[in-house]
């Protein structure tokens, strides 16, 4: 994992943020501390559908395998909310500091 990249994983209870995120029981909340490409599918050739800006809360719904990025082939299916609507897609696990990949407690897609 990259030490300069970090996500804060929190349980559903006790999530405190100025920008609420409706994670509910669909996934684990994570705060995005850097901007990430959000792709249509888990592979690098998939189109970038959006970019998750720094400081946004997102839900990690599930994980799958995709192309290897810096030795890590795990991809997380995420949702993040902009001021207009929700965005979902896949991000490289390498850039998500969840400890071991895949993250404990996140189901496989």
Residue-wise pLDDT for 35-86, tens only, equals 889 999 999 999 998 888 777 777 888 999 999 988 999 999 988 766 556 7
Q: Give the pLDDT band of residue 90 (cuts 50, 70, 90).
A: very high
pLDDT number for residue 85: 64
What DSSP string describes the chain?
Answer: --TT--EEEE-STT---SS----TTSSEEEEE-S-EEEESSSSTTSPEEEEE-TT-EEEEEEEEEEEEETTEEEEEEEEEE-SS-EEEEEEEGGGS--SSSSPTTPPB-
pLDDT number for residue 108: 95
Show me where the domains of the chain are located.
7-95
pLDDT number for residue 2: 39
pLDDT number for residue 60: 87
Identify the CATH class of 7-95. mainly beta
pLDDT number for residue 42: 94
Q: CA of 59: how far to CAs of 45, 46, 68, in Å?
A: 23, 20, 22
Task: Determine if the pTM surpasses 0.95.
Answer: no
Partner residues linked to 16 by β-bridges: none
- C-alpha 18/C-alpha 88 separation (Å) is 21
pLDDT number for residue 16: 39
């Amino acid at each position: 994992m990259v030490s300069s990249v970090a996500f804060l994983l929190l349980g559903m209870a006790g999530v405190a943020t100025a920008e609420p995120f409706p994670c509910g029981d669909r996934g684990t909340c994570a705060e995005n501390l850097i901007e990430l490409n959000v792709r249509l599918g888990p592979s690098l050739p998939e189109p970038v559908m959006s970019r998750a800006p720094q400081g946004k809360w997102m839900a990690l719904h599930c994980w799958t395998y995709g192309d290897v990025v810096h030795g890590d082939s795990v991809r997380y299916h995420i949702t993040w909310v902009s001021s207009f609507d929700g965005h979902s897609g896949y991000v490289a696990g390498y850039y998500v500091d969840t400890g071991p990949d895949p993250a404990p407690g996140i189901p496989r897609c």
